[in-house]
Amino acid sequence: MSAGTFPRASTDVVMVMAVDTLTVTVPAAGTIVLPWWAVGGVTVRRWPLRKVLFVRPAPDVTPTTAGVLISGQPKLWRTASRQGLTVELGITDSDAATIAAATAWLSAGRVVVQGPGVPAPTALPPPAAVPHRST
């Protein structure tokens, strides 16, 4: 998280992208689990000396929306819905382009990552053809 939003812990924010959900865990603050349909936006921004990723829920999604899970401090949801939860790209296993491609694929193209270092969205490639073996 950005400085001043939540106390800094020994580990950084963790973002996990799964087939049906996007999970962001903020040490000392809590965890938000959003189904892909509830993700409102993912944006990459440049801050001095680093790139950060902001994850926000959709405007009509609340902590009591079916499928949304939240644990921890109440201000975690307020931060997520106003400015977005902050994930530093310098500590991720993947770059912005890879995260953008995974987000587009996992959300079936509904969520598009925007910002510097992110290629323009393209159509998802068709599944690879499986060669037919004749007997």
Question: Each residue of 68-111: pLDDT tens digit?
Answer: 999 988 888 888 888 888 888 776 677 788 888 888 889 988 88
Over residues 8-15, mean pLDDT: 62
- Region 32-61: mean pLDDT is 87
Q: How many residues in the chain? A: 135
Residue 6 confidence (pLDDT): 41
The sign of the torsion formed by the CA atoms of 119, 107, 93, 4 equals positive
The structural domain count of the chain equals: 1
Residue 7 in any domain: the answer is no
pTM, two decimals, is: 0.74
Structural element, H or E, at residue 100? helix 96-106
Confidence of residue 3 (pLDDT cuts 50, 70, 90): very low
Give 24-40 pLDDT, tens digit per residue: 998 888 999 999 999 99
The answer, yes or no, to whether residue 1 has pLDDT greater than 90, is no
Q: Would you say residue 77 lies in a domain?
A: yes
Within-domain flag for 105: yes
Mean pLDDT of 11-15: 76
Q: Is residue 122 part of a domain?
A: no
Count of CB atoms within 10 A of residue 83's CB? 12
Query: Looking at the domain assignment, is residue 131 inside a domain?
Result: no
Ordered strands of the 50-57 beta sheet: 85-88, 50-57, 39-47, 113-114
| Percentage helix, strand, coil for the chain under 3-state DSSP, each rounded to 5 | 20, 30, 50
Percentage of the chain beyond pLDDT 70 is 78
Residue 20 falls inside a structural domain: yes
Read off the pLDDT band of 53 (50, 70, 90).
confident
Q: What is the C-alpha separation between 95 and 132, in angstroms, rounded?
A: 36
Residue span of the structural domain in which 25 resides: 14-114
Note whether residue 121 is domain-resident.
no
